[in-house]
Amino acid sequence: MFFLPAGTFSYWEAWVYLAIIFIPMTLVLIYLFKNDPGLLERRMKTREPETEQKLIVKLSVPLFLIAFLLPGFDQRFGWSDVP
């Protein structure tokens, strides 16, 4: 999601961000697999029961995607100039 809009894999900020996100997420997943697989199973089956909540989830998906695409486009086109 970062590299395609950036047009390059030499986008070190994206690699750092992905490491910061995925390393702890993977460690928590491993911990839950070992110590509380029931909790992990319950969390994976959770669905939003109310219509308003479902609407909020549907509206947040495009914003979530934009939040991952925008930095890549910024890297490619140089929109921001941060010293």
**Residue 8 lies inside a defined structural domain of this protein:** yes
Residue 40 near residue 56 (C-beta atoms within 8 A): no
Percentage of residues of the chain with pLDDT beyond 70: 100
**Residue 31 lies inside a defined structural domain of this protein:** yes
Residue 72 near residue 1 (C-beta atoms within 8 A): yes
* pLDDT tens digits for range 7-42: 999 999 999 999 999 999 999 999 999 999 999 888
Residue 5: CB partners within 8 Å, gap ≥ 6? 69, 70, 72, 73, 75, 76
Look up the domain containing 39 and give its range.
Answer: 3-77
pTM assigned to the model: 0.72
**Residue 44 lies inside a defined structural domain of this protein:** yes
**Residue 64 lies inside a defined structural domain of this protein:** yes
- What domain count does the chain have? 1
**Residue 46 lies inside a defined structural domain of this protein:** yes
**Residue 82 lies inside a defined structural domain of this protein:** no
Residue 38: CB partners within 8 Å, gap ≥ 6? none
**Residue 83 lies inside a defined structural domain of this protein:** no
